[in-house]
Amino acid sequence: SEADVAQMRATLAADDYELTHMQSQTTKALLALKQQMNFPIADTLVVEKPAVDASLLPTDNAYNIYNVALTTNPRIAQAAGNVAAARYALRAARGAFLPKLSLSGGVSTSFYRNMDVGGHAPFGQQFKNNAGEYVTLSLSIPIFNRLGSVSSVRSRRIALDRARESLNYERSELQRIIAEAVADVENSTKEVQKMKDQVEADSLAAYLTTRKFEEGMASSIDVRTAAVTLLQSRVRLLQSQLTMMYNRQVLAYYEK
């Protein structure tokens, strides 16, 4: 009927607009990808869909991953290094209370020449005759700088406490991130499995709706609705697969 034809024309126009809009979004996404990759804008970049393994891979527990990450994570290493530096600075500040005994020695010689008088002793003879040695032993007892030393020790002790608190915070934050990463991997993997089941169900529904339309038992609107539902399910499946891959890569960073 004319009403069905008009409805199909309206549907075609709406789909054509949606297609043009999504092509524009795809072009923008490709340009953003080239910028992130530092890829020449004028060159052609072919983006292939990565292979996704949605099987439930065995995941190590968060505690074991945390123990591995403690020895490899750069933030933990930096915080531990700050604690060690603060500890040595405190020891150096405490050393200001102790007396200092210094022992030094040296050898010296000289060579000279009088420009007003011709001739001079040879270099080897002057090097031997003008040679001298010295040894110095000194003892320094801190008496008048005690107040400054006490203030320095207190400041270094506070710095050490802050470094330890920072290290404990980084460890706690790392444990939380790893626990979340393990949970995200498990949940996203399950979501992919569920979305695959939904895509299969929507595919069957779209096929049956198309068959009904061919037999005159369904309208074009029903066919379009089933097709759109199937495409939306495929989009959500792809999004869940990419999310799962991202979560696995995040977890793999802490496992190595």
Q: Is residue 237 part of a domain?
A: yes
Tokens of 22: 């999504």
248 lies in the same domain as 183: yes
* Closest by Cα among 121, 95, 102 to 110: 121
Co-location of 238 and 186 in the same domain: yes
123 and 206 inside one domain: no
Q: How far is CA 155 from CA 90, 146, 158, 161, 167, in A?
A: 8, 14, 5, 10, 19
Same domain, 132 and 29: no
Same structural domain for residues 168 and 244?
A: yes
Query: Are 4 and 220 a contacting pair, CB within 8 Å?
Result: yes
Q: Are residues 66 and 179 in the same domain?
A: yes
- Residue 96 class from Cβ within 10 Å (0-12 exposed, 13-18 middle, 19+ buried)? middle
In a structure prediction context, what are the per-residue pLDDT tens digits for the chain, which is 256 residues long? 777 788 788 888 988 998 999 999 999 999 999 999 999 988 888 888 767 665 555 566 888 888 888 888 899 999 999 999 999 999 988 888 888 888 999 998 887 777 766 667 777 888 888 888 889 988 888 777 777 888 888 999 999 999 999 999 999 999 999 999 889 888 988 899 899 999 999 999 999 999 998 888 888 778 888 988 999 999 999 899 889 888 888 888 888 7
Does any domain span residue 6? Answer: no
Confidence (pLDDT) at 78: 93
Start-to-end C-alpha separation, the chain:
66
The total domain count for the chain is 2
Print burial letters for 122-147: b (CB count within 10 Å at least 16), e (below 16): eeeebeeeeeeeeeeeeeeeeeeeee
Task: Judge if 49 and 121 occupy the same domain.
Answer: no
Q: Which residues constitute the domain of residue 245?
A: 24-78+159-255
Residue 236 lies in a domain: yes
My answer on whether 127 and 201 are in the same domain is no
In this structure, the answer to whether residues 166 and 57 fall within a common structural domain is yes
Q: Distance between CA 227 and CA 210 in Å, rounded?
A: 9
Is residue 221 included in any domain, yes or no? yes
Three-state DSSP class for residue 136: strand
| Last residue in a domain, options 115, 141, 167 | 141
Looking at the fold, whether 31 and 118 belong to one and the same domain comes out as no
Tell me: do 250 and 137 sit in the same domain.
no
Q: Rounded to an integer, what distance in angstroms lies between the CA atom of residue 250 and that of residue 186?
A: 13
Residues 164 and 250 in one domain: yes
